[in-house]
Amino acid sequence: MSFYNKEEFLSFEVIKAGLFTTIQDRGRFSFTHLGVTNSGVMDEYASLSAHKLLGNDLDTNILEITFSNFELLANADTNICITGASCEFFINDISQNTWQVHKIHKGDSIKIGKLIDGQRVYLAVKHGFNIKKEFGSNSTTIKESLGGISGIQIKNGNILPYTKNNDEILNRWHIKHIPKYEKELTLRVLLSYQEDSFSDYEKEKFFNSTYTVTPDFNRMACKLKGEPITSSLDGIISEAISFGSIQIPNDGQPIILLKERQTIGGYPKIGTVLSIDCFKLSQIKIGGTIKFEEISIETAQKKLKEFYLTFK
């Protein structure tokens, strides 16, 4: 850990890392032609909200916390903001609100207890963590050993350096901007790629069925279970896969590809989930239910522009 020594006094020390906490940012772009995935935060709404409230640049890094019992010790003053899944959140053992900026003083303890609704909590610090980027990003992709600290998840005892900050930032989100993480979701889908290989009957089945989120759900993809869908194609020539693509493998059960998807793949795809809805999906619990609804490209682009303009 000698490489961190000089930073030690302007940092968080990780007391409890939780089972799976990673450093992310908006992702690693322009290396996909070499097989490097985009990675990045699963829920951009929650993470961009935290950065907006702190006045951070939107590509600032952030902690993505997926299990309870996470704890940090602050070694310098700063401001933080916690968003995403509703959770128990304590500063020096006093319960605090999420979706709000909190001033942190040297010696403060920050704890995330139980996650209540949702799957991913985001913890942002003013100006982000001072960590070297790899291939233009801090996003951690474990299978590629890239990003974060040494390309793996956060461990107990890690040091997360930041620049000391004493700004008075009183921002918080109005309750109407704080999402409720439902157990039922309707995802808007653009018909795309091999949609022609699915008959009208199959498409109708797809849009009229209810699917269940299986435990096969991680940063790469979300596998669903329900009415099987059949393509007239067995497989396709491997091609690049975009964020939100819905692959239909031979068992007919849809797989929605998320931030750490492989860059290319050979299963037919019926459509692509609008990215804003992938962010919502990333917060659903296993056993939650999914329905699909078609959206036009014009509306989809309008919605996505509106989404990003909220954070400008």
Partner 1 sequence: MEIKLASVDSIIIYFGDVISKENSNQVKSAYKVLKDLNSPYLIEIIPSYNSILVTYDIFKYTFEDIQVYLNDLLKNIQIENKNDSEIITVDVYYGEEVGLDLQRVATKANISIQEVIEIHSAKLYDVYAIGFLPGFAYMASVNEKIITPRLSTPRKKIPKGSVAIADNQTAIYPQNSPGGWNILGKTTFELFDKSLEALSPITIESKIKFNPISKDEFLQQGGVLEF
State which of residues 82, 110, 125, 274 lies at the interface with partner 1 (CB under 8 A). 274
Q: Is there binding between residue 300 and partner 1 (CB under 8 A)?
A: yes
Nearest Cα to Cα of residue 119 among 88, 90, 84, 81: 84
Q: In what helix (H) or strand (E) does residue 305 lie, and over which residues does it extend?
A: helix 297-309
Nearer to partner 1, 41 or 74 (CB): 41
Report residue 267 CA to chain centroid gap.
24
Binding mask 230-269 for partner 1 (x = CB under 8 A): -------xxxxxxxxx----------------xxxx----
Q: How far apart are CA 68 and CA 107, in angstroms?
A: 22
- For residue 119 the two structure tokens come to 């799957």
**Which residue from 95, 97, 145, 171 is in contact with partner 1, where contact means CB under 8 A?**
145
297 binds partner 1 (CB under 8 A): yes
> Would you give the DSSP letter of residue 30?
S
Between residue 125 and residue 144, which ones bind partner 1 under the rule CB under 8 A? Answer: 134-135, 143-144
Single-letter code of the amino acid located at 97: N
179 or 244: CB nearest partner 1? 244
Q: What are phi and psi of 286, to 5 degrees?
A: -60, 135
Distance separating alpha carbons of residues 256 and 178, to the nearest angstrom: 25
Please select the residue that binds partner 1; options are 95, 301, 306, 310, rule is CB under 8 A.
301
Inter-residue contact 223 to 253 (CB < 8 Å): yes
Of the candidate spans 73-81, 115-123, 248-256, 300-308, the one that interacts with partner 1 by CB under 8 A turns out to be 300-308
Hey, what are 227's tokens?
Answer: 């009415």
Give, as ranges, the residues between 33 and 92 that touch partner 1 (CB under 8 A).
33-36, 38
Rule CB under 8 A: which residues touch partner 1? 29-36, 38, 134-135, 143-146, 190-193, 237-245, 262-265, 272, 274-275, 297-298, 300-301, 304-305, 308
